[in-house]
Structure 1
Amino acid sequence: MKKSLTVGCVIMASGLSRRFGTNKLLADFCGQPMLCRAFDATATPGIAARIVVTRSEDVQALCRTQGVPVLLHSLPGRNDTVRLGLSALLEQQPELSGCIFLPGDQPLLRRETVEAMTERFCHEQPSPTEWQKETEREIFRLGAVADNDPTPLVGSPVLFGSSFFSELLTLPENKGGNVLLKKYPAQVRTICIADSAELLDADIPEVLQQLETIARQKG
């Protein structure tokens, strides 16, 4: 009997927000800190375990208030954030089949989109006889097809099968998962969504305001 595939989630919240001026993850977005949108997007049964990785004590306090597991650290590199988050999840769930890395600054990302990624990973197997082995060798990333351009825009979040865990735990200094996207292009599958706005991040206050306007228009 095949075991069920399980997916963990690392919410990336270690950025310094230099362009934003203050900690953007705590900036107001539709009446709540923007990071709460990531909490909502990952509050799904498709995520077996999740953790926020941050350098901010204020973010840590917010996570605790919201009942979301959090890991506070002071290490400098993106590789540190990836390693610490994945290691913490594997301590809780050693048999994880995959892990999704989700930025905390994409406030229009929907829970339905995260669910679609996890469901695709867990249920759409290329070969029934090689179900688990093949699925865990895959990388799924989010994308959207732009008007008049057959090449999809691509972005985050990204879901890595467990066969990539050892490399994610030993990424080069200050490098993130993009290293593996470039190294294994044949293993990367793009899950396209209709609304490219879900891919947008809020690096400056003006963009955050624009995204909030879009969110309010969508209700």
Structure 2
Amino acid sequence: MEQTKQAAVGCVIMASGRAVRFGSDKLLADFGGAPLIARALAVTASPALAARVVVTRSAEVARLARAAGATTVLHSLPGRNDTVRLGLDALLGECPGLGGCIFLPGDQPLLRRESLEAMVRDFHAQKETERVILRLGWRAGGAEPLLGSPVLFGSGHFDALRALPEGRGGGVVIRQHPGYIRAVYAQSAEELEDADTVERLEALKRFL
């Protein structure tokens, strides 16, 4: 996908969760014969992305990310706001003219690269002055669509994302702009599922 410097999209892989409900570092748990974090690294190995950064508190996750060619930020700060800020700062250090940033949780193992690339395509189709926040979604029948992660923010939101309240994530910015959210629909609802517990991880393995 051809990109201009101004329109380039990067990705922050959020891998700093403490996995309290899981009971151990879930990103190192086996999923299809590889650590769970390997799924996020594979999905983001796409020419649609100008750069990608993995933000983590785990030295082993950082090692795996570096081995996969991703920039890593290893830290010990407590809040989700810290993860967002550190990742975005690292991306902007690599791509100062970044036009957009996808924030992708590291524990959505069934997310497809095609869905991520569709989000980037929709971003590029927008005029710079009319950009909305893009969220991966799923629509079943006539029900209200389910909106989840990843989320793609344009550069107009970068300052707000770098100054989030302590302990808060990008949902703060989403709630501030309720009329400027648009879904990019996944091929299956399972793409939006995360592995919060050992039981949920085992259930998601059925879809491999």
In the superposition, the TM-score normalised over structure 2's length comes to 0.95
Task: Give 1:3 deviation, angstroms.
Answer: 4.6
Identify the match of residue 169 of structure 2 among 173, 176, 190.
176
1:97 maps onto 2:99 in alignment: yes
Deviates more, 1:21-30 or 1:184-193: 184-193
SS of the residue corresponding to residue 81 of structure 2 reads: helix
Letter of the structure 2 residue corresponding to residue 162 of structure 1: S
8 Å CA contact retained: 1:143, 1:190: yes
TM-score after normalising by structure 1: 0.90
Aligned to 1:133: 129
Unaligned stretches of 5+ residues in structure 1: 126-130
Post-superposition offset of 1:148: 4.8
Which AA in structure 1 matches 2:170?
G
What is the alpha-carbon distance in structure 1 between the residues aligned to residue 102 and residue 77 of structure 2? 21
Deviations 1:89-128 (A, max 9, x none): 0011010000000000000000000000001101x23xxx
Is contact 1:108–1:200 with CA below 8 Å preserved after alignment?
yes
Contact in 2 for aligned 1:142/1:190 (Cα 8 Å): yes
- Give 4+ residue runs of structure 1 displaced > 6 Å after superposition: none
Alignment-derived partner of residue 72 in structure 2 = 70
Letter in 1 for 2:138: A
Write the distance in 1 (CA, Å) between the matches of 2:51 and 2:130.
Answer: 22
Cα-to-partner distance string for 1:165-195 (whole Å, 9 max, x where unaligned)? 0000000010000001110011111112231
Q: Give the 3-state SS of the residue equivalent to 1:160 in structure 2.
A: strand
Residue 68 of structure 1 and its aligned partner are, at CA, apart by 1.8
**Which whole-Å CA distance do the structure 2 matches of 1:166 and 1:132 have between them?**
16
The one of 160, 185, 192 equivalent to 2:185 is 192
SS in structure 2 of the partner of residue 16 of structure 1: coil
Specify which of 43, 46, 50 is matched with residue 45 of structure 2.
43
What's the counterpart of residue 128 of structure 1?
A: none
Which whole-Å CA distance do the structure 1 matches of 2:19 and 2:155 have between them? 30
Superposition deviation, residue 213 in structure 1:
1.2
Q: Secondary structure at the match of 2:206?
A: helix
Please give the alpha-carbon distance, in whole angstroms, between the structure 2 residues aligned to 1:103 and 1:57.
18
In structure 1, the partner of 2:197 is: 204
Query: Which position in structure 2 is the counterpart of 1:146?
Result: 140
RMSD of the TM alignment (CA)? 1.3
Task: Judge conservation of contact 2:115–2:185 (CA < 8 Å) in 1.
Answer: no
How many residues align? The count is 205
Whether the 8 Å contact between 1:145 and 1:194 is mirrored in structure 2 is no
In the aligned structure 1, how far is the partner of 2:199 from the partner of 2:164?
33
- CA deviation profile, 1:110-147 (whole Å, cap 9, x unmatched): 0000000001101x23xxxxx22323xx2100110134
Q: SS in structure 1 opposite 2:149?
A: strand
Q: Percent identity?
A: 54
Decide whether aligned partners of structure 1 residues 3 and 70 sit closer, same or farther in structure 2, where only a CA change above 3 A counts. Answer: closer
Q: 1:188 & 1:158 partners in 2: Cα distance?
A: 10
